[in-house]
Each structure stands twice: as C-alpha cells, then as structure tokens.
Structure 1
Amino acid sequence: MVLRWYTVVVDCNDVRKQAAWWAEALGWQTIYENDDECVNVPGWVTPEVARDIPWERIGPGMVFVPVPEGKTVKNRLHLDFAPHTSQDREAEIARLEALGAQRVSVGQPDDASFTVLADPEGNEFCVLSSRDF
C-alpha cells in the first residue's frame, strides 16, 4: 500500500483570488469554489480522464483555505516549477510577474539557477532552469 499525494494546501486570506491566480499561473482549473475552500486541478483533468488513471498516479491538486493571519516569515515548504527546454524561461517569469508575482530574496546566491518569486499573498515558489523531464 502507498499513499497518494492528494493536495497541497495553501493558507490564504482570500481563497477565491488565490485559487484564480494559481489557476491562471499554472493553466489549471478551479473545480470547487466557495468562501471557505477552493480546489484547483490541472487543466487537462476531467472526471473521465481521472477514472482511467491508476489512483496512485494521479498528481496532486491545490486547495486554498482561509486563515485570519497574514504571512509573516519565509515558507518552510515551497513549490518548484520548471519550464520545458522548448519554452522561454525568462518569458514565463515575466508572465508570472505580469500576473502579480514578485521576485523575492530568501538568501539565494546571486548566481542561482532558479528564480524565487512570491504569489500575491507572499507565498514563495521557485522557477527552476528549463528541464526535459
């Protein structure tokens, strides 16, 4: 028996805005939405497709839940994203910045092969170098 990584839960002040931002950033879709919880999954996932994928091979979604406090310190856990080698990494970073992401410093070296960004509520994530796999 193995566990399936089901979701990444993101604490936030405005669940609808955060879910919409991440859906746009990743090309995902919001499949459940109310003031207390929003759920995003990859854009290509449909109930029919999900039924044909073995349980343990279905990737995680993102769940956004409200918390009363704002973010105050660096995340202990963050997400890493990588563009494909056929994509323009700098253009992707510019697209995320145009959506509202901001470059942040968490102590990374100046010559890092990754770029640290924060979503509109300050949650850090990284855009890595381009990858084939």
Structure 2
Amino acid sequence: MAHRSRLAGFIIDCNSDDHAAAADFWSQALGFEKEQHYVEEGAEYTNLTGTPSDLQVEVQQVSHESRVHLDIETDDQDAEVARLEALGAKRIAWVKRWWVMEAPTGQRFCVVKMRHPEKGAKPNDW
C-alpha cells in the first residue's frame, strides 16, 4: 500500500520531577519559545516553536532514563511500521497512539500519525 512519511522532529525525554524547569532549560538552550504545555495520561509535555522546517521539538516527562529520540510521522502507521521492519527495525510497544520502535543499531524512535501534511518538508512517497 502506498503511503507517505517523514521526520517529524525530536522529543527530549526528561526523567525529572520538575517539568517546568526542564522545559525552561531546553527552551533557552535551543532558542525556541515554549508554545503549549499539556498533560496527557499523567505525563507532561511542552511543545517548543520556532524550529527549523517546522520540526516538532517537544519536552516530555518520562519514567525511564533521560534521552532524546526522534519521531517519524506517517499517513499510514501500519504500512510505515511494516516498511521499517523490512529494513530491520523491530516493534517494542504500542503506547497511547504511536509505535515505539528500535533500529537495528539499538536506538529507539516512534512512528506517529502525521498531524499536518501540508506543513514542513515534503513527505517521502513509499
């Protein structure tokens, strides 16, 4: 099945009891404005704006170790996951509304639903 995907952005996973301080640090460190703070299913998130090519950069409260991961967005999550599995990635878990995947080299990343196909870089056609 034909589908489209592209790099959505980078998620800064912070294992911290002070989400506001973490969001302030990353906003100032990267020179991006804090746009939207929200809580979903017990976790806090802050979107940062002013990013190159409209990439999503988000500070996320997590319970695992702090790290940075990337998101790949797609208009067909099942097809994109299958494509990535054919390249050697493996599924780790379905979380809320996205797949956590692991590259053959061990890095974790997420496959998320494309939010704004009309914005940002042109998606790849597969």
Shared fold (TM-score, shorter chain, > 0.5): no
Structure whose CA Rg is larger: 1
TM-score band, normalised by the shorter chain? 0.3 to 0.5
By relative contact order (CA 8 Å, sep 6+), the higher-ranking structure is: 2
TM-score under structure 1 normalisation? 0.37
